[in-house]
Structure 1
Amino acid sequence: MPQRIVRVLIDSPLPQLDRLFDYTVPDALEGTVQPGVRLRVPLRTVGRIVDAYAIEVADNTDVDRPLSEIDSVVSSAQVVPPFLYTLARKVADRAGGAANDILRLAVPKRQVRVEKQWLTAPEPVAETVADDAVSYANTLLDDFPGLADAVSARERIAWSAIAHPVSTQSGDTVGAWAMLVAAMAAARLAQGESTIVVVPDYRDQDAVLAALDDFVNEAAVARVDARQTGPDRYRNYLRTLAAAPVIVVGNRSAVYSPVDASLIVMWDDGDSLLEEPLAPYVHSRDAALVRQELTGCGLVFAGHTRTSDVERLIGIGYVREISAARVYAPRTILSSPTDHEAPGIRIPSSAYRAVREALATGPVLVQVSRPGYAPVLVCAQCRTPSKCAHCSGPLHAKARGAAPQCRWCGRTAHGWKCPQCQSVSVRLASSGSERTADDLGRAFPGARIIVSDGEHAVTTVAETPVLVVATRGAEPIAAGGYHAVLLLDGDRMLMSDDLRVSESCLRWWSNAAALAAPGAPVLLVGVAGEVARAFATWTHAAFAQSELAERAPLRMPPTSRVAMLEGDHESLRTALTKLREDVPNLARDAVLGPLPLDGNGDELARALIRYDYALGQRVVASLRASVIAAAVAGRRSTRTRPNRPPRATLKLHTDVADPRL
């Protein structure tokens, strides 16, 4: 008998439930079930009522099997439009994850009062852009010849930002990049089109919002970030569901905004904050590429540096590079101790003189690698790293003369003794932001010093003589720009075993250099080699090309895709065997491992799979099928043998940026 059917996506973390389920619509709910609404449906396998989204509704459909009825309609608000589910499904399929995990990132938690107000309120009207603001935006876009036409044609483009601060009409100081991003968004809004701006953190978001004030009204902008309260975040999300164009500015989840965007702008895609830490671990850059392919919108990658990922796309012709009309580079200087100075000195005399001269007229920025006072302690006699006696965590000192504390468990290490030489004394092996501030206070008596790090957040400083000591990424912006920038601990930053450490260091230094006023010295201390030359000559694209050339023979990302599979040995071997059967043309050396995971004995193991982009769909589909099969088998084993602990299911992470066994 024909009946109305609704296909729903169940809100569940189980991978075997990552598909659409059919339910019938009872007569009492006939007029309320629409695509995108929240539902409550029975799940017979667990014998309870669960949350779900209505994805498709079909009228007068013949079915040859008994179907359950939906339990209730939670709300009439259609919070998951068809496009958003399609995007979530495609992104999840590329990453070997669940569509529901993507929707969980995109759709905020429901706020009943806000939703009721939205349902009864009139539709938002389209905001206009004043003629003088449009003219100002076009003037800024002219600094990059061809950029305005490329954005209008909805091309995929990349450009390197001009690295110096500028002032808005209201007197705020922002990066030149923020003004250009705001100009692009305003130009699209003037044409009746929406824009999504994706930035790494709140500092970048505040810069874009301040720049947008020069072009559009506040009502034309929707914020998306974790700093908002639940009601505010849900209110802005509902605003993006309206037909009226809007400029969305937010962090990594903003890329999933349901707005009908004609342009996506991603700033500083190399920042780790754009990597999603939750399954299925999709980088915002990859989600933006999937969305662009799905909708045909314009896509812009911008930054002070060029990531190897974007450079690969430029190399294959998928993204077009656009350069500024004039070349601008900060006044970068490589500073090292002279022959007359002690080796390993932290601030050479030349850098000291530059800081002293700049401090006489305005603010000076000093970038350090780590926060705190003494992040690392070693034995004063044998230099063995100091470890906690309880958990073997590293010890650190919070202040001069303070007792060592463990970073892991927080215990104070009273009566510490070196296990190697039995010494009871420790030595400060590194300087954090607070110790650097103490040292600079003695070197520059009378100078005002500000510390900006994770525990001391400072966003702006005035145009007055002040020494600002900041960790990477926490540098406040100075009114008019810094009169000098001193980059310390560069050699220590490069010691990280991260595959992309050179790329990251160049980005950290360049973002700090972009805060300097035009012509102000930017001094990089104690670093040599290719990355230092790229910074000194401001040739970031060439450095990205060299990084790609070095990784290609090793088939390391981004020259190849790398997936990481974790689980028990039996499930892992089964999955890798099935992968060879499903993708017979996979390279013989594509699989690395499996090897036991540290700290888990022989129970769990990990394997890496390297594969070409052309094989991505088949490889990910095979691995995802194995993840589902392992989850079903583990659930079945707990039902047949209740006393047996559940089997460890497989965990899949595709597109690993730094693959290590």
Structure 2
Amino acid sequence: MAPELVPALVRASVKRSRGAAKATAPVAAAEFDPVARVLVDLPLAHLDRTFDYLVPATMAEVARPGTRVKVRFAGQDVDAFVVERAAESDHSGRLAPLRRVVSSEPVLRPSVLELVGRVAERYAGSRADVLRLAVPPRHATTEKEASVPAPEVALDPAAAATAWSPYPAGEGFVRALAAGGDPRAVFGAGPGADWPLLLAHAAVAAYSSGRGALLCVPDGKDVARVDAALTTLLGPGHHVALVADSGPAQRYRDFLSIARGARRIVVGTRAAAFAPVHDLGLVAIWDDGDDLFAEPRAPYPHTREVLLTRAEVEGCGALVGGFARTVEADLLLRTGWAQEIAPDRALIRAAVTVAVAGATDRELERDPHARASRLPQQAHQLLRSALATGPVLVQTPRSGYAASLACERCRTPARCSSCTGPLRLGGPAEPPTCGWCGTVDAAWACPTCGHRGLRAPVVGESRTAEELGRAFPSIPVLTSAGDRVRASVPGRPSIVVATPGAEPVAEGGYAAVLLLDAWLALSRPDLRVREEALRRWLGAAALARSGGRVLVVGDPADPVLQALVRWDPAGFAERELADRASAHLPPACRLATITGSPGAVDDAVTLLSLPDGAESLGPVPHGDAGESRTVVRVPRAVGPELSAALREMQRLRSARKLDAVRVHVDPQAL
């Protein structure tokens, strides 16, 4: 051995011996409840249980249930939450002590912990994964700040009943909330309804009974509208708005104000569903069919299911609202879990008139191409007359300029010569570019007929705005799509071209709404395509002012368009639910997908012990990454058994260190 290495080895040996002595040195335990049951922050399924640790006497006052701690686990320090203190442990050996208390702030309330456990069971995931959605990362500086209590305010529960009076069942709903009850309802808003104000009144009704309220909406634009409505009713300092772009410090500050009980009204996007509101009296979700409510991270919980589970856990009221009605919301009515709040038909007839271009013989006589043209004569007439009194909304399903291209002569789709990807145009003066590899193909020629001309069978909002700007040169044309979303527009005459979900609110409402390319909205290969199309159309039509007009360019015989014309989301959802039941599709059944490499999926299916009545479909190739997928479905009543079987399969797979698979229970799309 080289002489120069001896001192280093001696120092390392001494350091190891000191560390071992320190690790084995006896620790004085807490006098009362010296055992801490902790949940380690590790996503491995076979570790999804509590572990017992010794509470040192020096940590007895700060290692409370709900606090963050560090523990020694598998030879390394890991984060954990204390979920319980106990007098003794079932473990027969010696307990390792807690390494340290990261923070004495109890950030995990017992009710939220129970909710986390139920959500993990429902979606066959681990509690550690759900906890990352429920508890934001710690911000030490913010934690030292005191939360200012909400100021005193005089509440008038009668105002909420007055606001909900156009809906006969709605008035009784808010009165029950104000009386301390826990009513549950599915709310179908009428066209033109000021839904942010209605949600705010429902929250105030629960607040007047000394309880809290939790309101979830799809995006930040909607959060801002509800935030403004709550400020109008209560003034500042009584609620918090939880949005993703708040920043870590502000988000943790708002979270602490809720956890400490300084704020009891919360409005936010899907992450707000786990907010630790004290004495919760109401959970509400608006537009639950929006795909933004589907969590993209494991275990992929849906905000609606989280809130409904929370209503069960905490015994509070629940409100599922929207202009459209999802099949899941309709199932709540069919099972008796909730009651219906619906507008009167006279209110709907007075609020808006919906028509389909070319629906009558007279209209076809005037314009024989009304059903085939993208912008028929009837649409131009509607725009011209409505622009005399205010703004007009034009909804188109696609963003961009020209989303797809085809040969002008033979209609062959234009493909990239390098990778066969679809060609598209980004603007009127830009050459064709591949949507996959980005290759510019200015000299494209049709491989079928040799023609070099191109046409755009599907155009986006930019091309639509360009065409309307040429047709109405004296009218300003505004766009709202992608990363250029407008929250509102003034009430003066203008044409607003927007994609679904990006429609700005017009001051005083739109004089007319034009819905283009209905065929395109209904052509997606998706389980929820009809439900989603109707949801988007109703959301846009509801922005019209009282007495406004709505025109749809599509097939008048299509049942989805007929439901829009009648403004009948309830009847449509009932028929859609019946169709799903006959096809054994969610929510009439419980369905799960297992996705991963072919070998990993085969291993998972081998380990999966299916309950009685289960049906396994696949495996089949999935995506372009060489993965495969197996679909398992069971009757709805057997859903909990399927989730339990999937969790057990995940535990076995994790313990044996097999390749990972993605388990998704009741996915939004197949």
CA separation of 1:307 and 1:427: change in aligned 2, threshold 3 A: same
2:25 paired with 1:25: no
Following superposition, the deviation at residue 125 of structure 1 comes to: 4.3
2:185 paired with 1:157: yes
2:38 paired with 1:13: no
2:173 paired with 1:147: yes
Following superposition, the deviation at residue 395 of structure 1 comes to: 2.1
SS of aligned partner of 1:205 = helix
The answer to whether the 8 A contact 2:291-2:668 is kept is: no
One of 113, 117, 122 as aligned partner of 2:145: 117
2:361 paired with 1:334: no
SS of aligned partner of 1:8 = strand
The answer to whether the 8 A contact 2:39-2:48 is kept is: yes
Deviation by residue 1:544-571 (Cα, 9 ceiling, x = unmatched):
1111111212101111111001234455
CA separation of 1:13 and 1:379: change in aligned 2, threshold 3 A: farther
Structure 1 residues 476-495: aligned runs within 5 Å: 476-495=504-523
2:644 corresponds to which residue? 621
CA separation of 1:592 and 1:83: change in aligned 2, threshold 3 A: same
Structure 1 residues 31-46: aligned runs within 5 Å: 31-44=61-74
Deviation by residue 1:347-385 (Cα, 9 ceiling, x = unmatched):
221221111011112111111111111111123343232
Q: Is the deviation greater in 556-565 or in 19-28?
A: 19-28
The TM-score, its normalising length taken from structure 1, stands at: 0.90
2:220 paired with 1:202: yes
Following superposition, the deviation at residue 245 of structure 1 comes to: 5.3
Q: Distance in 1 between matches of 2:236 and 2:420?
A: 52
1:510 corresponds to which residue? 538
Q: Distance in 2 between matches of 1:370 and 1:402?
A: 18
1:655 corresponds to which residue? 666
Q: Distance in 2 between matches of 1:62 and 1:181?
A: 48
1:169 corresponds to which residue? none
CA separation of 1:416 and 1:350: change in aligned 2, threshold 3 A: closer
SS of aligned partner of 2:469 = helix
SS of aligned partner of 2:319 = strand
The answer to whether the 8 A contact 1:486-1:522 is kept is: yes
Following superposition, the deviation at residue 127 of structure 1 comes to: 4.0
CA separation of 1:135 and 1:352: change in aligned 2, threshold 3 A: same
1:287 corresponds to which residue? 306
SS of aligned partner of 2:266 = strand
The answer to whether the 8 A contact 2:175-2:205 is kept is: no
CA separation of 1:406 and 1:569: change in aligned 2, threshold 3 A: closer
Deviation by residue 1:37-74 (Cα, 9 ceiling, x = unmatched):
11112222xx3212111111223557411332222111
Q: Distance in 1 between matches of 2:336 and 2:398?
A: 39
Q: Distance in 1 between matches of 2:56 and 2:576?
A: 60
One of 568, 572, 579 as aligned partner of 1:550: 579
The answer to whether the 8 A contact 1:561-1:656 is kept is: no
Following superposition, the deviation at residue 128 of structure 1 comes to: 2.4
Deviation by residue 1:217-259 (Cα, 9 ceiling, x = unmatched):
2211111111212111111111111235521000011111110
2:390 corresponds to which residue? 362
One of 261, 266, 282 as aligned partner of 1:248: 266
Q: Distance in 2 between matches of 1:162 and 1:23?
A: 56
Equivalent AA in structure 2 for residue 147 of structure 1: F
One of 456, 476, 483 as aligned partner of 1:428: 456
The answer to whether the 8 A contact 2:29-2:56 is kept is: no
Following superposition, the deviation at residue 582 of structure 1 comes to: 5.1
Equivalent AA in structure 2 for residue 246 of structure 1: R
Deviation by residue 1:302-329 (Cα, 9 ceiling, x = unmatched):
1111111111121121221123356422
The answer to whether the 8 A contact 2:52-2:89 is kept is: no
Q: Of the two, which has the highest radius of gyration? A: 2
One of 213, 220, 223 as aligned partner of 2:241: 223
Deviation by residue 1:265-319 (Cα, 9 ceiling, x = unmatched):
1101011111111111111111111111111110011111111111112112122
Equivalent AA in structure 2 for residue 592 of structure 1: L
1:499 corresponds to which residue? 527
The answer to whether the 8 A contact 1:189-1:245 is kept is: no
Q: Is the deviation greater in 469-478 or in 66-75?
A: 66-75
The answer to whether the 8 A contact 1:338-1:348 is kept is: no
- The size of the alignment, in residue pairs, is 624
Task: Provide the aligned C-alpha RMSD in A.
Answer: 2.1
Q: Distance in 2 between matches of 1:63 and 1:308?
A: 48
Q: Distance in 2 between matches of 1:48 and 1:379?
A: 62
1:561 corresponds to which residue? 590
One of 320, 335, 338 as aligned partner of 1:316: 335
Equivalent AA in structure 1 for residue 585 of structure 2: M
Q: Distance in 2 between matches of 1:414 and 1:110?
A: 52
The answer to whether the 8 A contact 1:365-1:485 is kept is: yes
The answer to whether the 8 A contact 1:128-1:190 is kept is: no
The answer to whether the 8 A contact 2:216-2:268 is kept is: yes
2:190 paired with 1:176: no
Deviation by residue 1:608-661 (Cα, 9 ceiling, x = unmatched):
111122211211111121122222323xxxxxxxxxxxx5322210012333xx
Report % sequence identity.
38
1:168 corresponds to which residue? none
The answer to whether the 8 A contact 1:9-1:19 is kept is: yes
1:641 corresponds to which residue? none
The answer to whether the 8 A contact 1:558-1:657 is kept is: no
The answer to whether the 8 A contact 2:587-2:636 is kept is: no
2:15 corresponds to which residue? none
Equivalent AA in structure 2 for residue 269 of structure 1: D
The answer to whether the 8 A contact 2:29-2:54 is kept is: no
The answer to whether the 8 A contact 1:143-1:324 is kept is: yes
Equivalent AA in structure 2 for residue 279 of structure 1: A
2:208 corresponds to which residue? 190
The answer to whether the 8 A contact 1:237-1:257 is kept is: yes
The answer to whether the 8 A contact 1:363-1:482 is kept is: yes
The TM-score, its normalising length taken from structure 2, stands at: 0.89
SS of aligned partner of 2:256 = helix
CA separation of 1:413 and 1:59: change in aligned 2, threshold 3 A: farther
Q: Distance in 2 between matches of 1:88 and 1:421?
A: 60
1:410 corresponds to which residue? 438
Q: Distance in 1 between matches of 2:90 and 2:375?
A: 79
2:82 corresponds to which residue? 54
The answer to whether the 8 A contact 1:7-1:20 is kept is: yes
Structure 1 residues 250-269: aligned runs within 5 Å: 250-260=268-278, 261-269=280-288
Q: Distance in 2 between matches of 1:423 and 1:630?
A: 56
One of 590, 595, 598 as aligned partner of 2:620: 595
1:443 corresponds to which residue? 471
Deviation by residue 1:111-157 (Cα, 9 ceiling, x = unmatched):
11111113xx5x624642344xx443221122323222443421221
Equivalent AA in structure 2 for residue 29 of structure 1: M
CA separation of 1:193 and 1:126: change in aligned 2, threshold 3 A: farther
The answer to whether the 8 A contact 2:461-2:497 is kept is: yes
Q: Distance in 2 between matches of 1:445 and 1:62?
A: 80
1:81 corresponds to which residue? 109
- Listed as ranges, the gaps of 5+ residues in structure 1 are 165-174, 635-646
SS of aligned partner of 2:465 = helix
Equivalent AA in structure 2 for residue 283 of structure 1: H
